[in-house]
Amino acid sequence: MKIHHLRNATLVMETGNKVILFDPMLGKKGTAGPTFTLFRFKPQRNPIVDLPDNAMEIVEKTTHCLLTHLHPDHLDKEAESFLKSRQIPVICSVKDEKALRKKGLNIFQTVDYWQETEFLGGKIQGIPAVHGYGFVAKPMGNVMGFYIELPNEKSIYLSADTIYTEDVHKVLTQLKPEIAVVACGTAQLDVFQPLLMNMEDILKFVKNAPGKVIANHLEAVNHCPTRREDLRKAVTEFGFVEKIFIPKDGESKVY
């Protein structure tokens, strides 16, 4: 299995003759919509960085696409056009199927929470994700993580945009994924609590993960204050640095 980190939450997983694109934000710098904050952090149109030079060469190989939710930093207009023009088979939450079909996407498979179904010769199940601490999680809408087991590959848990919950803990300690992907930007709006795990919960996630961890959702949108340097310093201090991969945009790794 080869995993490419492209930008934000966009990654590509190559396995056999399948190339799976996750949460594509493919537009150029500043094209995904208005800034997410005006006061708490510097207002900038998102994404705040361009895709790496090798990104589209990898994306062009896509055979399937998994979507955790519908926010524009996980599915932007450029990604919609790409998926529609090629009629890429899309896998999504049962709760997002209607909205995605309305966009003209080719819904290949829907996934429900904690329901295991066949996927590309292996298995997939939806994992509940809570997009924020406290009240803010409700208006942020539905989000789904995925736990995936494919033939002759390591199991992988894409936790999606979530805080640390009992469901997250259950996956890490009972399903025991060999690879776990966690959103580490600690995204925040101008008001309310963070939308993603704070550093304490990121460290808890890394500690409880039984295998390797991949950090994403860093330094690509204006409302994420946590930087790679901050995360690297924290995991080093707590002795977890060998357990976590904090990729630069465009960086890949074989597992």
CATH code of residue 142: 3.60.15.10
What's the CA angle centered on 46, arms 77 and 188, to 5 degrees? 115
In a domain, 217, yes or no: yes
Number of structural domains the chain divides into: 1
Quote the domain boundaries for residue 21.
2-250
Of 187, 182, 53, 56, nearest in space to 129 by CA: 182
- Please tell me the distance from the alpha carbon of residue 24 to that of residue 76, in angstroms, as a whole number: 7
Is it the case that residue 186 has pLDDT exceeding 80? Answer: yes
In a domain, 255, yes or no: no
Is it the case that residue 128 has pLDDT exceeding 90? Answer: yes
- Please tell me the distance from the alpha carbon of residue 245 to that of residue 181, in angstroms, as a whole number: 10
Is it the case that residue 135 has pLDDT exceeding 90? Answer: no
What's the pLDDT band for 215 if we cut at 50, 70, 90?
very high
- The mean pLDDT value for 189-198 works out to 84
- Please tell me the distance from the alpha carbon of residue 161 to that of residue 127, in angstroms, as a whole number: 11
- φ/ψ region of 160 (left if φ > 0, alpha if ψ in -120 to 50, else beta) reads left
- Which of 179-192 are b and which e, b meaning 16 or more Cβ less than 10 Å from the residue's Cβ? bbbbbbbbbbbeee
In a domain, 139, yes or no: yes
The pLDDT score that the predictor gives to residue 45 is: 78
The pLDDT score that the predictor gives to residue 15 is: 97
Is it the case that residue 37 has pLDDT exceeding 70? Answer: no
Is it the case that residue 246 has pLDDT exceeding 90? Answer: yes
- The mean pLDDT value for 204-222 works out to 97
Of 26-40, 81-95, 198-212, least confident by mean pLDDT is: 26-40
What's the pLDDT band for 47 if we cut at 50, 70, 90?
very high
In a domain, 25, yes or no: yes
The pLDDT score that the predictor gives to residue 181 is: 98
